[in-house]
Chains A and B, each alone.
Chain A
Amino acid sequence: MAKHVFSLAVVFAFVVLLLLLFNVGKDSIGWLTPGFLTRNLSIFPEKAGIWGAIKGSVYLMLIVIPTTLVLGVSTAIYLEEYASRGKVANFIRVNISNLASVPSVIFGLLGLAIFSRFLGLGSSILAGGLTMSLLVLPIVVVASQEAVRAVPGFLRDASYAMGADKWTTIRKVVLPVALPGILTGSILAMSRAIGETAPLVVLGIPTLIRKIPTSIMDDFTALPIQIYYWTLDTVLTPEYANLAAATIVVLLLVLFLMNAAAIIIRNKFQKKF
């Protein structure tokens, strides 16, 4: 009896998840067409598409991926390989766990003040990408730390015994072994960055961008922002709810694919030493 009462909580969560998927799927029927993916914005709902938003999201990732990988993996290597018990390392560790809890909208304010206004990057892809990189950095650091920590000590010893120095050992032994773990965590961080809306809206990413972005200094729109503005405008044009729902389906598909990739990498390359 008690078992069933407690299981209701899990059942409730699943029912909500199904309702959400069903509701979005139902609204997008008939709207999610090949043309919707390849057309650009239009004031007529039936002619509108998300090509610009898709391209904006892709460009955004082209900034976020290299930035977070270099910053995140370097930080993890420093913390795990060079200064595992020092005061500086501890300070950095506390700082990262605090950074992870800062609301995303605050990162938007940081980006607005520093990247947009102080460095004059405006509401460009570069400003958005850098802001988003800082937001997901803690996820990459923590995942990379765990991956580096899981590399067994005897592999390092073997490398040193062959006459390799520390950097060579890290580059040729530790990093390759830790790579699947780092990749898994990074993919999850990227899926967070693709879906995150608040920092971009705070940066002042404009509502209607008809021009498809061609460089990282261009203004842009991204999938979540498109969903946001269409949801807001459903009051005026009810069809926008269908456009928002169709965009959500695209976004969720991308996220599920990324999560599947992360799980596959984890299962396939998980080495037991």
Chain B
Amino acid sequence: MNNVKVREIIQNNATRKNHRLDRVMPTFFLVMALLSVATTIGIVLTLVTDASKFFASVPLREIFSTKLAPLSAQPSYGILPLLMGTAMTTLVAILVAVPIGMAAAVYLSQFASPKLRKVLKPVLEVLAGIPTIVYGFFAYSFVTPLLMNLIPSLEPKNALSPGIVMGIMIIPMVASLSEDAMNAVPEIMREGAYGLGSTKLEVATKVVIPSAISGILASIVLAVSRAVGETMIVTIASGSTKNFTFDITKSMQTMTAYIVEFTSGDAASGTTGYYSLYAVGLILFLFTMVVNLIAQYISKKLREEY
């Protein structure tokens, strides 16, 4: 704290050469910083105004129906098929990403030597840096044909293959967040368990994972948010059929894919179909916001004090 005082004294005695610029710059930086806030406000305003036009013109009963046909002569705007598509692909992704990501985290934090970890981590991060469009191509041109050999009834566009690939994309995120949580467990707790004669596996499953559970849960919640918001993999590989089904071998459409399909077609400004994009966008936005708050809450509330 002494340091700061010295700095203030020196600063106050500084020459006045650039005085005017020195007074202007803080305001300039503040204005630039506030532009990011303006972006958020812009997002909320556009989503809410355009979505409200949609909700004003479509009856609530229709919104919660299982029929979505925005381009037919008698358009219908049921959101349930999109929610189902999103839920199914997300579920598959989580089933892939969480066990594999956590196992990778346990391996990296418990078993790998520091040297090996230094090599493995960045390579694992490469998976996270690959553009989603590339994963989409991979899902459609490689994973789906591969799965068709195992499941003959699989449709060329389906919820299973993009779900799996999305899970693979999320593995590094789950692994790195979980590993951070596991590394935060104090060495003394591990040593204590080893001192009682535990094996490495017992230390991992009975000491490290339970102690790091808040960080692990937060990573899972964030993974869900990522899977729900992911767009290009599902757009390419799960198709555009607005199916309300639990069958993951069938083509389904997610909320994000609906937005892409509809805008790259002719979403004439001012039509109900155009406003439906913003209604779906608003639901997506609210979902990710809530999920992020939950993740923050979990990691704060459940953080163990050592």
- Using a CB–CB cutoff of 8 Å, the interface residues on chain A facing chain B are 2-3, 5-10, 12-14, 16-17, 19-20, 23-24, 27, 70-71, 74-75, 77-79, 81-83, 88, 91-92, 95-99, 101-110, 112-114, 117, 134, 137-138, 141, 153, 156-157, 160-161, 163-168, 170, 191, 194-198, 201-204, 224, 227-228, 231-232, 234, 241, 244-245, 248, 251-252, 255, 259
Contacts and interface: CB of A to CB of B under 8 A. Distances in A.
Contacts of B50: 113
A229 to B, nearest CB: 9
Contacts of A6: 103-104, 106-107, 110-111, 204
A265 B270 CA distance: 49
B40 A27 contact: no
Interface stretch (B3-11, B68-76, B87-95): B3-11
B70 to A, nearest CB: 16
Contact of B263 (A70, A134, A201, A255): A201
B259 interface: yes
A16 B236 contact: no
Contacts, number: 261
Contacts of A196: 131
Interface of B: 3, 6-7, 10-11, 13-19, 21-22, 25-26, 28-30, 32-37, 39-40, 42-43, 46-47, 50, 99-104, 106-108, 110-112, 120, 123-124, 126-127, 129-138, 140-142, 168, 171-172, 175, 199-201, 204, 222, 225, 228-232, 235-236, 256, 259-260, 263-264, 267, 269, 277-278, 281, 284-285, 288-289, 292
A14 B126 CA distance: 10
B contact patch SS: helix
Contacts of B201: 2
Contacts of B140: 231, 234
A104 B168 CA distance: 19
A17 B127 contact: yes
A14 B267 CA distance: 41
29 contacts: A7-B111, A8-B103, A9-B99, A9-B103, A9-B107, A10-B120, A16-B168, A17-B126, A71-B32, A74-B28, A74-B29, A75-B29, A96-B36, A98-B292, A103-B229, A103-B288, A105-B281, A110-B42, A113-B46, A114-B46, A157-B6, A160-B14, A166-B11, A166-B25, A195-B130, A196-B131, A228-B133, A231-B133, A232-B236
A50 B138 CA distance: 20
For B46, B140, B269, the residue with the greatest tally of chain A CB atoms inside 10 Å of its CB is: B46
Which A-B residue pairs are the 8 nearest by beta carbons? A103-B229, A195-B131, A74-B32, A9-B103, A78-B29, A6-B107, A2-B201, A160-B10
B112 to A, nearest CB: 8
Contacts of A163: 13-15
A24 B131 CA distance: 13
A245 B137 contact: yes
A110 B22 contact: no
